[in-house]
């Protein structure tokens, strides 16, 4: 049995649907692999950020996209937040959004 992918809410799914087509395709290819083999694909595809938060690192001709996710009991992968990178460093606000959502998911799961 593989992993199942979920979105935090419909807005997160809509954010990803708004990504340029090349980035969306790369993101989907990575998530298909995660569903099959598990969420830890390793660098440069996924990276652990600590405290149960991870990121999917999608790169295509159109730019760089990041999606934060967590894993839950029952082999679930929950996409918490996504954005298109415009700078080398991940903006603090983007990380704060993901951490807030991570806390909510953990609280409701227990």
Query: Above 50 in pLDDT, residue 110?
Result: no
pLDDT tens digits, one per residue of 18-36: 999 999 999 999 999 999 9
Residues of the chain with pLDDT > 90, as a percent, come to: 75
Topology of domain 4-109, per CATH?
YaeB-like fold (3.30.2310)
Q: Please state whether the peptide bond connecting residue 84 to the residue before it is cis, i.e. omega within 30 degrees of 0.
A: no
Residue with tokens 């980035």: 23
Q: Kindly report the pTM of this predicted structure.
A: 0.90
Q: What is the C-alpha separation between 76 and 6, in angstroms, rounded?
A: 7
The torsion angle over the Cα atoms of residues 7, 37, 24 and 60, rounded to 10 degrees, is 140
Give me the count of residues in the chain: 110
- Between CA 87 and CA 92, with CA 90 as vertex, the angle to 5 degrees is 120
Q: What residue segments make up the domains of the chain, in order of their start?
A: 4-109
Going by C-alpha positions, the residue among 2, 1, 69, 61 that lies closest to residue 33 is: 2
Mean pLDDT of 45-57: 93
pLDDT score at 1:
61
Structure tokens at 87: 């700078």
Residue-level pLDDT at 88: 82
Q: How confident is the model at residue 64 (pLDDT cuts 50, 70, 90)?
A: very high
């Amino acid at each position: 049995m593989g992993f199942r992918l979920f979105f935090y809410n419909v807005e997160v799914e809509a954010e990803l649907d708004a990504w340029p087509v090349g980035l969306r395709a790369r993101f989907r290819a990575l998530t298909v692999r995660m569903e099959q083999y598990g969420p830890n694909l390793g660098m440069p595809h996924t990276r652990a950020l600590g405290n149960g938060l991870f990121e999917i690192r999608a790169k295509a001709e159109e730019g760089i996209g990041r999606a934060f996710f967590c894993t839950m009991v029952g082999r679930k992968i929950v996409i918490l937040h996504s954005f298109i990178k415009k700078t080398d460093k991940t903006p603090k606000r983007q990380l704060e959004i993901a951490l807030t959502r991570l806390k909510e998911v953990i609280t409701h799961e227990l």
